[in-house]
């Protein structure tokens, strides 16, 4: 994928994270009845049941933005074709593992995985 396309996706996912991150913070504070109430077992279960798919979208945006960000930083430190390709694939594998692990958690919260 072209660097300009990756950068555009970096900006778009950044805006998505800003919106969904604000939603996440709101649920953990005033919208959740205060932090203590928001992290209770019943509240967390209720939030995941209602917004599980929104968290999945949040996970997609975060995984891309963070691991592409790490890739950009690592490529900026040192240059070279082999190094750049290795960093890219390492970030793809690490990002995929993180995404799958986070998806597993959301599926458990949704009651899909037992």
55, exposed or middle or buried, with CB in 10 Å at 0-12, 13-18, 19+? buried
**Is 83 among the residues that bind another protein (CB under 8 A)?**
no
Shortest Cβ distance from residue 12 to another protein (Å)? 10
DSSP string, 39-91: TSHHHHHHHHHHHHHHHHHHHHHHHHHHHHHHHHHHHHH---HHHHHHHHHHH
**Is 4 among the residues that bind another protein (CB under 8 A)?**
no
d(CA 6, CA 65): 10
Shortest Cβ distance from residue 1 to another protein (Å)? 19
**Is 73 among the residues that bind another protein (CB under 8 A)?**
yes
Distances from the Cα of 79 to the Cαs of 25, 83, 96, in angstroms? 38, 7, 24
**Is 54 among the residues that bind another protein (CB under 8 A)?**
no
The residue within the footprint of another protein, chosen from 3, 6, 25, 85 (CB under 8 A), is 25
Q: Which residues bind another protein (CB under 8 A)?
A: 11, 14-15, 17-18, 21, 25, 28-29, 34-36, 39, 41, 44-45, 48, 62, 66-67, 69-70, 73, 76-79, 98, 101-102, 104-105, 108-109, 111, 113-114
């Amino acid at each position: 994928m072209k660097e300009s396309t990756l950068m555009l996706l970096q900006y778009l996912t950044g805006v998505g994270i800003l919106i969904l991150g604000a939603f996440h913070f709101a649920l953990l504070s005033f919208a959740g009845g205060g932090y203590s109430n928001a992290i209770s077992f019943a509240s967390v279960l209720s939030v995941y049941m209602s917004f599980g798919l929104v968290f999945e979208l949040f996970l997609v945006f975060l995984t891309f933005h963070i691991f592409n960000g790490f890739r950009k930083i690592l490529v900026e430190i040192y240059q070279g074709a082999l190094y750049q390709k290795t960093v890219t694939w390492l970030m793809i594998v690490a990002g995929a593992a993180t995404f799958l692990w986070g998806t597993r958690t959301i599926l458990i919260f949704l009651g899909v995985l037992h």
